[in-house]
Amino acid sequence: MNRSYPAKILLFGEHTLLRGGRGLAVPYPRFALRWTVGVPDERLLKFVDYLDQPDFHPLLDTVRLYDETNKGARLAGDIPTGYGLGSSGAVCAAVLENYATPSAQQLNFNYLRTLLARMEGHFHGQSSGTDPLISYLRQPLLLSQGGAAGAVNLPESWPTGFFLLDTGHTRRASRLIEQFLNAHDGEMANLIEQGWSKPVERAITALIADDRNLLYDTFAQISAFQIARFPHFIPEEFHAQWNGGGAYRLKLCGAGGGGMLLGLANDCAVAERVFGSQLSWL
């Protein structure tokens, strides 16, 4: 049990994924969970109880899982909760990898996602299975509405210039998602399509193709649209620093309202000077 289970970052597709757009998410091993032994974790034990259902028995060794977690097997790590980084997904990935039956180990991509979605339902009520799948597979995924579209290979240098900013705030995604959907399904549908959804599509294509000029341009378009049309999704203390011109740009990383922000820098020195210790390079 010495493997780690990484967090996930949604690079592109926040909100627009809910209305038919694509998304791109990657594992982020800087934050991760690992199995350890200590005092039994009541939260994990509740999850174990949830998994003790007939539907899970052919796929998970729930007897061994129950025995070992009650004897002190637990997960420890540094994935922050309330940040949209997939902490519950990493828990599901860790449990599945260590307690899968031979039948579960033979599941194809889509059935694997379905199983992980059902597991993560304990934490969220509903789940696409995307977060635990990224942590389980430890590779980038192209996303479509309702779940994972498939694994994707990115250029080796893709993280160049990308950084995270910790806003210091947890967030409640449901309220912001509702506001976005109301705007999209109302009078802003065309504005969102042109100013947000289409630039996201082009940004994903540019990143996969390693077209850095197009990537920065489309990232800047997304950034400008978000601050102009959805400023309340962005913590106010970051408004003045939002537009770094040709040096860097910021955008939402997940639902907004707090958690992390995602940045892309052309001039890394400027970004580091502006944000200091708040900045973490991918």
Residues in the chain, pLDDT under 70: 1, 146-148
Is residue 218 one of the residues assigned to a domain?
Answer: yes
Strands (E) in the chain, as ranges, are: 4-12, 23-37, 73-77, 141-144, 147-151, 162-166, 243-244, 248-252, 260-265, 279-281
Whole-angstrom Cα distance, residue 133 to residue 120?
Answer: 10
- Burial group, residue 15, by CB count within 10 angstroms (0-12, 13-18, 19+): buried
User: What single-letter amino acid sits at 229?
Assistant: R
Given 151, 179, 207, which residue is the final one in a domain? Answer: 151
DSSP label of 32: E
DSSP label of 60: B
CA torsion, points 173, 179, 181, 186, in degrees to nearest 10? 180
CATH number, position 61: 3.30.230.10
pLDDT of residue 33: 98
Is residue 18 one of the residues assigned to a domain?
Answer: yes
pLDDT of residue 247: 98
- Claim to verify: residue 51 and residue 121 sit in the same structural domain: yes
Whether the CB-CB separation of 243 and 265 falls below 8 Å is answered with no
Whether the CB-CB separation of 107 and 136 falls below 8 Å is answered with no
For residue 266, the enclosing domain spans 162-281
User: What single-letter amino acid sits at 4?
Assistant: S
User: What single-letter amino acid sits at 3?
Assistant: R
State the pairing for strand pair 23-37/260-265. unpaired
| Paired tokens of 181 | 């959907």
- Claim to verify: residue 201 and residue 241 sit in the same structural domain: yes
Length of the chain: 282
Is residue 236 one of the residues assigned to a domain?
Answer: yes
- Claim to verify: residue 147 and residue 169 sit in the same structural domain: no
DSSP label of 80: P
Whole-angstrom Cα distance, residue 96 to residue 44?
Answer: 13
Is residue 116 one of the residues assigned to a domain?
Answer: yes
Whole-angstrom Cα distance, residue 176 to residue 50?
Answer: 29
pLDDT of residue 146: 61
- At residue 144's C-alpha, the angle toward residues 142 and 148, to 5°, is 60
- Claim to verify: residue 136 and residue 166 sit in the same structural domain: no
DSSP, collapsed to helix, strand or coil, labels residue 83 as coil
CATH number, position 261: 3.30.70.890
Is residue 143 one of the residues assigned to a domain?
Answer: yes
Is residue 156 one of the residues assigned to a domain?
Answer: no
Residues 6+ apart with CB under 8 A from 266: 161, 216, 246, 247, 248
pLDDT of residue 116: 96
pLDDT of residue 157: 96
Is residue 205 one of the residues assigned to a domain?
Answer: yes
Is residue 80 one of the residues assigned to a domain?
Answer: yes
pLDDT per residue as tens digits for the range 218-274: 999 999 999 999 999 999 999 999 999 999 999 999 999 999 999 999 999 999 999
Question: What is the count of structural domains for the chain?
Answer: 2
pLDDT of residue 128: 81
Residue carrying the six token digits 């995307």:
130
Whole-angstrom Cα distance, residue 209 to residue 59?
Answer: 38
Given 93, 128, 151, which residue is the final one in a domain? Answer: 151
pLDDT of residue 192: 97
- Claim to verify: residue 30 and residue 100 sit in the same structural domain: yes
